[in-house]
Structure 1
């Protein structure tokens, strides 16, 4: 029975992660290949950029992530001050995770799911400099202030790590966030590349000889 359950679970995951369309449009496939190439170059840049650099915080993706971060503070406000501060970072990660589930379960589009996974990884890398700044408090924040000139609690990760007694581990947690992001981005790129290769095989079989 246990083996049957494992086989059933494996079959469901395979169907979700590697669902193949019955037909592939050549133009759509080419557009996705171009998108994958852009995400690969972008992902390599994020992965190789030092945490202390402003590569993640000054990128286009930071502007995409910021509204979700701010919305997270509002959404998690009923759960207390620590969760209110943590909610911004949580929402950055939860939003692409929700998109990933929608793409896999609702729209049955695992390539779009690979993009959502890439976005999730980028969010972890986006958060790393903020976490890393928890003690130095030099990073510019919303409103133009830096953490050292702001009231206690304005810098999310200073407040989170001090309130939980983990402030001395800020650099370690930041590096962990960056590594998780790098692994997710790399996984997403390999996943997307594999899917496009399988789509190309379908495209070839459908093309006139």
Structure 2
């Protein structure tokens, strides 16, 4: 097991306001995840990488792997910063996780209509159309998409709280590590 750092310094007092500025810039993407942003392009890269990483584990995980990896990567990195006691860095990665969840929510909700532009020209290559169709659950695509969007908002609120705690009480959340 890797030892946790013995002592961590508090975050800079201006870090929370910097975080809130970043949140304000990302808010349109969080509230309207169907809009394209720089992070959407980053998500797309990790989405496609997820398909490659999950390919050996069968068709279901291959199809889900893109969406899973684009959300789990920033979430895992947030966990690393949380473990290290770096609240503001954790919060920034939670914001990315929230934005990515929002993108996935749009993709899932589009499963029935398949109107989103995909990398290929074939609308039948839509991951969530294939998944939900194979489970006879296409009718649930909007409900599932709305649930993921709700989780993205909850994750964004958790990011704000994490940034606040990280700056108000120092990186360790008020405790020595």
Pair in the same fold by TM > 0.5: yes
SS in 2 for 1:76: helix
1:117 to 84, 91, 94: 94
Task: Give the equivalent residue in structure 2 for 1:175.
Answer: 146
SS in 2 for 1:83: helix
SS in 2 for 1:134: coil
TM-score when scaled to structure 2? Answer: 0.83
- State how far apart, in whole Å, the 1-side matches of 2:26 and 2:139 are: 29
Gaps in structure 2 of 5+ consecutive residues:
171-177
Task: Give the equivalent residue in structure 2 for 1:21.
Answer: 8
Check conservation: 2:23, 2:95, Cα contact below 8 A: no
Which structure has the larger Rg?
1
Structure 1 segments (4+ residues) deviating >4 Å:
none
Corresponding residue pairs, total: 166
Task: Give the equivalent residue in structure 2 for 1:38.
Answer: 21
TM-score when scaled to structure 1? Answer: 0.71
How well do the aligned residues superpose, as a CA RMSD in angstroms?
2.3
Structure having greater relative contact order (Cα 8 Å, sep ≥ 6): 2
Inter-CA distance 124–23: structure 2 relative to 1 (3 Å threshold): closer
**Superposed displacement of residue 132, structure 1:** 1.2
**Superposed displacement of residue 33, structure 1:** 3.3
1:188 to 147, 159, 163: 159
Task: Give the equivalent residue in structure 1 for 2:175.
Answer: none
